[in-house]
Amino acid sequence: MKQVTMYQGKRVLVIGLAKSGLAAAMLLHELGASVTVNDQKPLDENETAKQLHEKGIRVICGGHPLGLLDEPFDLVVKNPGIPYTNPMVAKALEKGLPIITEVELAYAICEAPFIGITGSNGKTTTTTLIYEMLKEACKKPLIAGNIGMVACEVAKTAHEDNWVVTELSSFQLMGIEAFRPRIAVLLNIFDAHLDYHGTKEAYAQAKGNLLKNQTESDYAVVNADDEWVMKLAEASSATKIFFSTTKPLNSGAYVKDQAVYWNSEKVIALSDIVLPGKHNLENILAAVAAAKLVGADNAAIARVLTTFTGVKHRLQYVGTVNGRKFFNDSKATNILATQKALSAFSDQRVILLAGGLDRGNEFDDLIPYLKQVQAVILFGQTAQKLERVAKQAGIETVYHVDNVEKAVPVAYEISKPGDIILLSPACASWDQYKTFEQRGDIFISAVHKLE
């Protein structure tokens, strides 16, 4: 860890705890800052706050008192999920206080270079692929950010010969000042988190912050097929490395003759890749580009791509039971994610398991993607809405069940060998489950019971 003095004696307010707030407060305390932590949850229910209090860190819990900002703070570290419209954050902005997220702290203390990955879809898969490729090539990667450990915890242990592979959200990227990844990977820009950012333009600009501090000696790996990504890349000073699933490129990562190429070099045949879906091919190309820039060899990359079946809950291959292949896509908490999952199996028979929290939307946008679906098994608050869409798409076989666990044996009974049984709910899980992970784990357990 770099020995930095920039926070020594600074009065820092950390707003919001969870994992990132805890890690930021602990690190700042270690660096000699005078830290005050403010969290919504009352102290008697807040184990994290109690832990900080025992370390001698000032803790104010049970609300966000605006009067706290009358104190002379030098810096605010904000939990990424707290919007800038929050009254406490808004007042800090009015006072002209710098507001950062913990990834900025991670960059300040880290001896190792960063690979930063962002985009509307595919961040976790791409981050994991890059990490696995570099690990296979003995490049000493560490994984951080929204998956794995909090970035500033990883940064404490990183050395010059490591690479910190970091998944980054738009929320985190709004709170950076100096953060500069050696390699930035910008996958795609879709409509997302507009309740937080307000407009797609503001959301895209937040994503584009990943590139803003890069210089010509850094690399920006960008999707040549995405208009919004290309627009953001135009303003970047970094050396651009393009990837594309639709056209051969003079350099970069692309598809030609049913194979993945890096520059003019064949890396792997598409038929040898086990991760399904066109959207995953974009993730693969981005990962190949980043891995090659670090120096990974083709053999190491190919070994990963012939064995990597997906990140848990993200179009994860669970197993085959009597010829039926089961896929867990519980992370598909919106229509776009389910569209992508269905597109991955456009030439195969699919039994779709779907449903969940009703957020007031309809599901008509799924209809063009249901052509290969033979039956739907529905659960949760949106079951009736999804049945209407299924009937409109011409699907005659529709079952209603109580939950995911009961959906699995029904899907098995009505399916045939060769069918894909796909959990891709198109809805959040909170009507029946605490998290999408819990929902996915129950699906996996039910599949294993069939085995």
Coil, strand, or helix at residue 346?
coil
Length of the chain: 451
Alpha carbons 63 and 51: distance in angstroms, whole number: 18
**Positions in the chain whose pLDDT score sits under 50:** none
Contact 302, 272 (CB under 8 A): yes
Contact 332, 440 (CB under 8 A): no
Tokens of 332: 């598909």
- State residue 451's pLDDT score: 83
Tokens of 14: 């950390």
| Residues flagged as binding site | 119-125
Chain centroid offset of residue 27 CA: 24
- State residue 81's pLDDT score: 84
Residue with tokens 């990490």: 131
Pairing of strands 265-269, 259-262: antiparallel
97-107 burial by CB neighbour count: b if 16+ within 10 A, else e? bebbbbbbbbb
Tokens of 72: 């002379």
Its CATH class, for the domain covering 106-305, is alpha beta
Alpha carbons 28 and 326: distance in angstroms, whole number: 46
> pLDDT digit string (tens) for 125-147?
999 999 999 999 999 999 998 77
* Residue 180: CA count within 13 A, CB half-sphere: 14
Alpha carbons 427 and 349: distance in angstroms, whole number: 22
- State residue 194's pLDDT score: 63
| Residues flagged as binding site for ATP | 119-125
- State residue 200's pLDDT score: 87
Contact 270, 277 (CB under 8 A): no
Domain boundaries, the chain: 11-100, 106-305, 316-450
Contact 392, 367 (CB under 8 A): yes
- State residue 191's pLDDT score: 66
- State residue 192's pLDDT score: 60
| DSSP-assigned beta bridge partners for residue 164 | 114, 142
- State residue 118's pLDDT score: 96
Contact 223, 282 (CB under 8 A): yes
Contact 91, 69 (CB under 8 A): yes
Phi, psi of 80 (to 5 degrees): -55, -30
**Whole-number Cα distances in Å, 212 to 73, 220, 237, 241, 419:** 27, 10, 8, 16, 46
Q: Which helix (H) or strand (E) holds 129?
A: helix 123-136
- At the topology level, CATH places domain 11-100 in Rossmann fold (3.40.50)
> pLDDT digit string (tens) for 327-377?
999 999 989 889 989 998 988 999 999 999 998 889 999 999 999 999 999
Provide CB contacts within 8 A for 212, sequence distance 6+.
236
- State residue 72's pLDDT score: 96
Neighbours of 362 (CB within 10 A): 12
- State residue 287's pLDDT score: 98
CATH number of 316-450: 3.90.190.20
Alpha carbons 256 and 244: distance in angstroms, whole number: 10
